[in-house]
Amino acid sequence: MAEIDLLCSLPKTKRNVQMRLEGKNPEVIAIAKQYGQMYFDGPREYGYGGYRYDGRWIPVAQDIIEHFQLKPGDRVLDIGCAKGFLIKDLIKVCPGLEAFGIDVSEYALLHCEPEVIGRLHLGSADKLPFPDNSFHCVLALNTLHNLNRERVILALKEIQRLSQGRAFVQVDSYYTPQQKEIFESWVLTAEFYDYPEDWIKVFNEAGYTGDYYWTIIE
């Protein structure tokens, strides 16, 4: 288990934290947690404000393939795949790679990239419908924190079951109380989050031996 930033090549997202905080209320949060049209392609206060492919995942795909030494024929699962952008780019970077995704959002899957049709499944991270050891690599990028702590543990056990530790998860976290305050002003869907040292305790409790990193909002 190692801390490594596999998303370092993603462009930094511009966030108006004060505007998000002013717009947050129980109704907005409830709509965001439906992971439907409003979350992905509605106004910014409900989520992404328009979730469209722009190629930004290509260098991330390259880093993942290099880190895990993936090759054509290897099987990769992206948990929380949304519309399949990373899967599209994994296949583009490594033709012949067997990349698949799973997500709770039927809306996202119905609006996926054409290149990944047939590769995406509807389901949840804490109950993955695949046999033991069925993937050479499992990814969960900014997804697991949308579950409560009990379900996070189950999801990490599922990732371990499918990958035997050849995995990478990235979750919401913070290093200081000030960063925690900013995060809580911004977040809409996260159910469980904590400082890095406490996340590592969760990883250990679940028996997770893969790699990990943090999303810090500043």
Q: Please, is 178 exposed, middle or buried when counting C-beta atoms within 10 Å of its C-beta (0-12, 13-18, 19+)? A: exposed
Instruction: Tokens for 9, please give them.
Output: 């090549």
pLDDT greater at residue 19 or residue 140? 140
pLDDT score at 63: 97
pLDDT, one tens digit per residue, over 139-168 is 999 999 999 999 999 999 999 999 999 999
Rounded mean pLDDT, 38-65:
95
Give the three-class secondary structure for 168.
Answer: strand
Please report, as a single letter, which amino acid is at residue 111: H
Rounded Cα–Cα distance for residues 2 and 68 (Å):
13
What are the structural domain ranges in the chain?
A: 54-215
Instruction: Tokens for 87, please give them.
Output: 């899967």
Rounded Cα–Cα distance for residues 89 and 59 (Å):
9
Pairing, β 137-141 against β 120-122: unpaired
Q: Is the pLDDT of residue 37 over 90?
A: yes
Please report, as a single letter, which amino acid is at residue 22: E
Please give the model's pTM, rounded to 2 decimal places.
0.94
**CATH dotted code for 54-215:** 3.40.50.150
pLDDT, one tens digit per residue, over 76-86 is 999 999 999 99
Q: What is the DSSP letter of 7?
A: T
